[in-house]
Structure 1
Amino acid sequence: MLRKHGGFYYYRTTTQIFALAFCALYGVFASLSLPLVGKRHLINWSVARLYYHMAGYLTGISVSIEGKEHLDSKRSAVYVANHQTSMDILFMASVFPKATSVVAKKALKYYPFLGWFMTLSKAIFLDRKNRDSAIKEAKQAALDIHKKQTSVWLFPEGTRGYASKLDLLPFKKGAFYMAVQARVPVVPIVIANYNHLYDFTVKRFDPGTVKIKVLPPVDTSEIDESSESVDKLASNVREMMLATLKEISIPPPGSINPPASPPSTASDKKSH
């Protein structure tokens, strides 16, 4: 396995890192120049598109997207996606909407190039070790969603989840509190498991196509801000995303995964 995949793994990993560094540098330029011509809402979108096409070409990775009609840049929303590996940046870039900011862990702020770009592009950094600070930042983000008519993108698992099986980590509630406070919908985005193409543990990095499914917006306008209501919202969204993950994914090599959960009933949907 190592001999078969190792050379391509290191080549494609190196080219991906090069593409990310190049696009981050472009992002610094875009963050300084686009606001001058009234195009601030295109900063993250233009960097994402450049990175997807550049890294996709160099690595041979492409995507097949279902549900593009739910990516409405004219409507503020909280976009949530599952998180498997560092490759998610590439898949995120393929569907990243205009007028959208990224919510990321504070540590990324200090990365060369990437951190500079994210700081200039007004990314929202959350300090996971400081709960009070994280809550304050999340509330400010909810206010900005209305004031600046923008959207935000988060990975609600909070860290990289399961790459070797079809499952999701428990969701952190920040994204859902943000959506409820801002009274904007949650738009779930599911990236199919791609362990058959990329697995750093066995140095596998093969070209191929990965499915992405954008689910219909989940309305939050009638949900109160109580912890119980937000917990239920997060749980329902996670169930929908997990069922979709199992539906669109090729099971990881050597894994045994339970069947997808049945789709939500009409009564479940009314609870949103």
Structure 2
Amino acid sequence: MKRLFKSVHLYYFQIWLALVFTCLYPIIFYFSRSPVKFHGMNRMRWIFSYLSSVLSGFLFRFSYEEKIDWSNRYIICANHTSNLDITAIILLAKRNYVFIGKEELLDNFITGIYFRTIDIPLNRESKMSAFRAFKKAEESLKDGKNVVIFPEGMISENYPPVLQPFKNGPFKLAIEQGVHILPVTICNNWNLMWDDGKRYGTSPGICDIWVHAPIDTSCLTLTDAEDLKAKVYGVISTQLNAQ
């Protein structure tokens, strides 16, 4: 019975996604036209994420190690096990931001318009694609935007999920640009929707998100990138193990 409920809820969630996005699409399309209006695009993304989540029974509870000063620039680094993770970061961020994500998101009917305009697609099999993506991310940081990266670079095949090793790119970029790393631990989204929900279905509930204290990189050099990566990994891993 529980498996049936989770399968039905997945369809319920997908219906709300489609309905809310269809209603908002004319406004999103307007903001996406050249020149792209970043604030409008991100504002509509927040509204879409909030409405589709609440109507589907997903609520987000944020806990903060300290108050976040959103006047600073951040590279937001979070663990990644669920499509709900994207919604969590959208609801968390308080200023213009861009996602770096797999280029397959260009083909998704919801994420496609964002990855063709303000977000940064990346082919994980191509070093050239990765280079171009991080150059665009560098430009975004210089323009005062935040950059969102899931540093595992993938969703774990394990269920329950296991935190995967982090990629080097986000930490080198943070040091090069002198911006803060904002570690975020997404505690239980996988239990409500693992990956896209197709294998195990979905269920309504509260998504617990822990926002850690930002890590200043202004005094670091590129030789510190490995230590920075290990520090962020340790912060997120410790919080996951504490759940």
The TM-score bracket by the shorter chain reads: 0.7 to 0.9
> RCO greater where, 1 or 2, for CA within 8 Å and sep 6 or more?
2
Q: 1:72 offset after TM fit, Å?
A: 3.2
| Distance of 1:163 and 1:21 partners within structure 2 | 34
Q: Which runs of 4+ in 1 moved over 6 A?
A: none
Q: 1:2 offset after TM fit, Å?
A: 2.7
| Distance of 2:28 and 2:69 partners within structure 1 | 23
| Distance of 1:42 and 1:208 partners within structure 2 | 29
Q: Is the 8 A contact 2:120 2:136 kept in 1?
A: no
Of 207, 230, 240, the residue aligned with 1:235 is 230
In the alignment, what sits opposite 1:79? 76
Indicate the percent of aligned positions where both proteins have the same amino acid. Answer: 21
Q: Secondary structure at the match of 2:87?
A: helix
Select the structure of larger CA radius of gyration. 1
Q: Is the 8 A contact 1:167 1:242 kept in 2?
A: no
| Distance of 2:52 and 2:178 partners within structure 1 | 35
Of 124, 129, 148, the residue aligned with 1:128 is 124
* Number of residue pairs matched by the alignment: 240
Q: Compared with structure 1, are the counterparts of its residues 137 and 33 closer, same or farther at alpha carbon in structure 2 (3 Å cutoff)? A: closer
In the alignment, what sits opposite 1:9? 10
Q: Secondary structure at the match of 2:162?
A: coil
Of 134, 137, 155, the residue aligned with 1:138 is 134
Q: Compared with structure 1, are the counterparts of its residues 107 and 9 closer, same or farther at alpha carbon in structure 2 (3 Å cutoff)? A: closer
Q: Which runs of 5+ in 2 are unaligned?
A: none
Look up the equivalent residue of 1:28 and give its one-letter code: F
Q: Compared with structure 1, are the counterparts of its residues 30 and 163 closer, same or farther at alpha carbon in structure 2 (3 Å cutoff)? A: farther
Of 194, 198, 214, the residue aligned with 1:217 is 214
Q: Compared with structure 1, are the counterparts of its residues 136 and 203 closer, same or farther at alpha carbon in structure 2 (3 Å cutoff)? A: closer
Q: Secondary structure at the match of 1:210?
A: strand
| Distance of 2:26 and 2:111 partners within structure 1 | 8
Q: Secondary structure at the match of 1:168?
A: coil
More deviation in 47-56 or 8-17? Answer: 8-17
Q: 1:86 offset after TM fit, Å?
A: 1.9
Q: Secondary structure at the match of 1:134?
A: helix
| Distance of 1:23 and 1:160 partners within structure 2 | 29
In the alignment, what sits opposite 2:97? 100
1:157-183 CA distance string (max 9 Å, x none) = 111136733631111111111111111
More deviation in 236-245 or 96-105? Answer: 96-105
| Distance of 1:60 and 1:96 partners within structure 2 | 21
Q: 1:194 offset after TM fit, Å?
A: 3.1
Q: Secondary structure at the match of 2:33?
A: helix
Q: Is the 8 A contact 1:157 1:171 kept in 2?
A: yes
Q: Is the 8 A contact 1:60 1:207 kept in 2?
A: yes
Q: Is the 8 A contact 1:27 1:117 kept in 2?
A: no
Look up the equivalent residue of 2:189 and give its one-letter code: Y
Q: Which runs of 5+ in 1 are unaligned?
A: 250-272
Q: 1:117 offset after TM fit, Å?
A: 3.0
Of 166, 174, 182, the residue aligned with 1:179 is 174
2:163 paired with 1:168? yes
Q: Is the 8 A contact 1:184 1:220 kept in 2?
A: yes
In the alignment, what sits opposite 1:29? 30
Look up the equivalent residue of 2:211 and give its one-letter code: V
More deviation in 169-178 or 155-164? Answer: 155-164
Q: Is the 8 A contact 1:84 1:163 kept in 2?
A: no
Q: 1:78 offset after TM fit, Å?
A: 0.6
In the alignment, what sits opposite 1:109? 106
In the alignment, what sits opposite 2:43? 46
Over the aligned positions, Cα root-mean-square deviation in angstroms equals 2.7
Q: Is the 8 A contact 1:16 1:58 kept in 2?
A: no
Q: Is the 8 A contact 1:55 1:90 kept in 2?
A: no
Q: Compared with structure 1, are the counterparts of its residues 236 and 56 closer, same or farther at alpha carbon in structure 2 (3 Å cutoff)? A: same
Q: 1:110 offset after TM fit, Å?
A: 3.8
Q: 1:212 offset after TM fit, Å?
A: 0.8
More deviation in 93-102 or 104-113? Answer: 104-113
Q: Secondary structure at the match of 1:181?
A: helix
